[in-house]
Structure 1
Amino acid sequence: MIEIRRLEDKCNHCMMCVRECTSGVFRNVDGKCMVVDPLTCNLCSHCAAICPQSAIVHSGLDQTQIAAAKAKLIDPEVYAEIARTRRSVRAYKDKPVPRDVLEKILDLAKYSPTASNTQNVEYTVVGDRALIKSIADRIFSYGARFADWTQTRKGKLAFGALNLAAPKANLGRYVEGMDYYKEQAASGKDLILHNAPALMLIHAPAKAPFACDNCNIAAANITNYAHALGLGTCYIGFLTLTLKLNKGMRRELGIPQGNKVFVSLVMGWPEYKFKRVTARKEPSVTWIGAD
């Protein structure tokens, strides 16, 4: 059972914990902030983070992780530059990513917000280069066989119907370029996982509310932080789709039963650096009641 206490000798009854506690654990009782219903706590830790007096003791939280925020280090221009200059990297040096660096990235990812503070995001990290190559080869083979099938009589009819049903997917571009892609693959180029030294799969219970959102929020933090550390990343939609359909590959990668992979990332040291910020179209925005 969770124990939540307020240290009387430190508390100044500023009511910040009451204001921040959406679960109703902390409440204003006759002008004093009181712990009323600890069973409703969802372990968001806002009470400990907001308290100016460090007067909250919470058995459900690791007290060693609760430390003063270094607000002076938050430079909006630095973050903006990270977001603007991060690129999808598809060429990596033949150099492993040390485990302590990967652990550093995942340690930061755990601070990513999750719906109702479920903290249900899980990770599978693959550094086995032979396994990474095997997965890439198999996925490319699936794609090549699919492209060949679309050239058959039945395949042309089915593929035409598929394009009509999902025109935005623009699947034709992959089929039309397959001869070139096969030549590239035959020369040793990895068009799927890009010969990356590390593969990171981000997954969560398939039926959990907002599981997809939770995983993608974590992925955004991972890719930006990796970029700040000098690493490159790339989202691999083909692998995410394959893992959705291929139960055997999920077992091979140790994805827990009942979990779904929502994000697949390759990661490594970029072979070269991008020198400029690229162009982006202006966002489509609808303003309602904004000055």
Structure 2
Amino acid sequence: MAIPTTRTKTKAEIRIDAEKCSGCGLCVSVCKDFGLRVENNKARVTDHSLFGCIGCGHCMAVCPTGAVTILGRTLSPDDLFELPEKAKAATYGQFHALMQRRRSIREFKDKPVEPDVIEKILETARTSPMGLPPSDVHVLVLGGKEKVRAFARDFCAYLETMKWLVSGWFLFLMRPFWGKANDELFRGFIKPLISIYTESMRKGVNLVNYDAPLAMYFYGSPYADPADPIVAATYAMMAGESLGLGTCMLGGVHPFIQSGKKAKEFRKKQGIRHASREGVFVIFGYPGVSYHKGIKRTFASVDRK
């Protein structure tokens, strides 16, 4: 049995080089599929795994002698790399300072984001954890404010055809089915948001993605863990911050382009491969404003047990 994704339908193969294996058992301890055991002081592949090897690569990465090889589910020994020295990693203080300095930036200089910077952002985002390997996260990259604006213009044209979604009769009809909270969300946020997007675009003002020099849309496949694109987008956002860019997450596009024939047509035109349970845009650019103070944030609650 193998857990399917859009990228693979088969399980990976685990190979153990008995001559290299020291029998330390580290590979067994990190395999949560129960696919390995130590027998006669050597690691062995079992017949009792839960799903078959999913290709996470932990056993291959933890092996101190290089005795474990994983092949399949897009993974191979060529994907291993040496970990950076611990001294080169950010300290808590450095990381916390980066987080504190981050603001949601929507005003950008008229300066493009260089191709090598874009690749660094994507390279960092690829390191994000996932619910099930290989990652089923997809990324649409809009490089240049002309492409970013073109997407926003098409999106607003699409929204013009969807205003029935927030019409009085539809909201009245749906309230018994989706409850008070959703009704308040649609009346108090979604309905005015559609009006703001479309009316501003008619005046030549882009409030969808702010004519940013770079935008990335992270979304998943039907097989993806819903959290995966959000986590990857967060990694990309922080990479952008570390490279001197201003960033902002935008959630106003994704929910509108998931269901229905027109949404499917819009996704096809934009090169978006799948409808996705979760997804988010991140915009990037060299900041056009500088902030002098931070703002403390709080959670709704933190319950300790």
TM-score w.r.t. the length of structure 2 is 0.76
Answering whether residue 153 of structure 2 is matched by residue 137 of structure 1, we say yes
Matches within 5 A, 1:34-53: 34-37=44-47, 40-53=52-65
- From 172, 192, 204, give the equivalent of 2:208: 192
**How far is the alpha carbon of 1:220 from its aligned partner?**
1.3
Match of 2:3 in 1: none
Specify whether residues 79 and 190 from structure 1 end up closer, same or farther in structure 2 by C-alpha distance, changes over 3 A only: same
Specify whether residues 62 and 160 from structure 1 end up closer, same or farther in structure 2 by C-alpha distance, changes over 3 A only: same
Q: Spell out, residue by residue over 1:184-235, the C-alpha distance to the aligned partner (whole angstroms, 9 max, x if none).
A: 66764322111112221112223x252x211111111111111111122222
Q: Spell out, residue by residue over 1:229-273, the C-alpha distance to the aligned partner (whole angstroms, 9 max, x if none).
A: 112222222211232242222111111255566122222222123
Query: C-alpha distance in 2, partners of 1:168/1:84?
Result: 32
Answering whether residue 264 of structure 2 is matched by residue 247 of structure 1, we say yes
Is the partner of 2:59 in helix, strand or coil? Answer: helix
- From 65, 79, 86, give the equivalent of 1:71: 86
Q: Is the 8 A contact 2:249 2:282 kept in 1?
A: yes
Match of 2:238 in 1: 224
**How far is the alpha carbon of 1:27 from its aligned partner?**
0.7
Is the partner of 1:238 in helix, strand or coil? Answer: coil
In the alignment, residue 213 of structure 1 is paired with which amino acid? A
Aligned length: 282
**How far is the alpha carbon of 1:126 from its aligned partner?**
1.5
Query: C-alpha distance in 1, partners of 2:27/2:145?
Result: 49
In the alignment, residue 276 of structure 1 is paired with which amino acid? K
Which runs of no fewer than 5 residues in structure 2 stay unpaired? 1-10
Q: Is the 8 A contact 1:82 1:227 kept in 2?
A: yes
- Percent identity, aligned pairs only, is 26
Matches within 5 A, 1:85-124: 85-124=101-140
The range that moved more, 13-22 or 235-244, is 235-244
Matches within 5 A, 1:57-68: 57-60=69-72, 61-68=75-82
Is the partner of 1:95 in helix, strand or coil? Answer: coil
Q: Is the 8 A contact 1:112 1:221 kept in 2?
A: yes
Query: C-alpha distance in 1, partners of 2:255/2:196?
Result: 23
Specify whether residues 244 and 76 from structure 1 end up closer, same or farther in structure 2 by C-alpha distance, changes over 3 A only: same
Q: Is the 8 A contact 1:139 1:238 kept in 2?
A: no
**How far is the alpha carbon of 1:8 from its aligned partner?**
3.8
In the alignment, residue 76 of structure 1 is paired with which amino acid? Y
Is the partner of 1:19 in helix, strand or coil? Answer: helix
Query: C-alpha distance in 2, partners of 1:179/1:47?
Result: 53
Q: Is the 8 A contact 1:243 1:261 kept in 2?
A: no
Answering whether residue 21 of structure 2 is matched by residue 11 of structure 1, we say yes
Query: C-alpha distance in 2, partners of 1:192/1:86?
Result: 21
Query: C-alpha distance in 2, partners of 1:119/1:107?
Result: 14
Answering whether residue 282 of structure 2 is matched by residue 265 of structure 1, we say yes
Answering whether residue 301 of structure 2 is matched by residue 281 of structure 1, we say no
**How far is the alpha carbon of 1:15 from its aligned partner?**
0.6
Query: C-alpha distance in 2, partners of 1:77/1:7?
Result: 42
In the alignment, residue 116 of structure 2 is paired with which amino acid? D
**How far is the alpha carbon of 1:90 from its aligned partner?**
0.5
Query: C-alpha distance in 2, partners of 1:135/1:158?
Result: 28
**How far is the alpha carbon of 1:36 from its aligned partner?**
3.4
Is the partner of 2:119 in helix, strand or coil? Answer: helix
TM-score w.r.t. the length of structure 1 is 0.79
Specify whether residues 176 and 67 from structure 1 end up closer, same or farther in structure 2 by C-alpha distance, changes over 3 A only: closer
Query: C-alpha distance in 2, partners of 1:132/1:171?
Result: 28
Query: C-alpha distance in 2, partners of 1:3/1:143?
Result: 47
Which runs of no fewer than 5 residues in structure 1 stay unpaired? none
**How far is the alpha carbon of 1:20 from its aligned partner?**
0.6
In the alignment, residue 236 of structure 1 is paired with which amino acid? L
**How far is the alpha carbon of 1:125 from its aligned partner?**
0.8
Query: C-alpha distance in 1, partners of 2:193/2:276?
Result: 34
Q: Give the CA RMSD over aligned residues.
A: 3.5
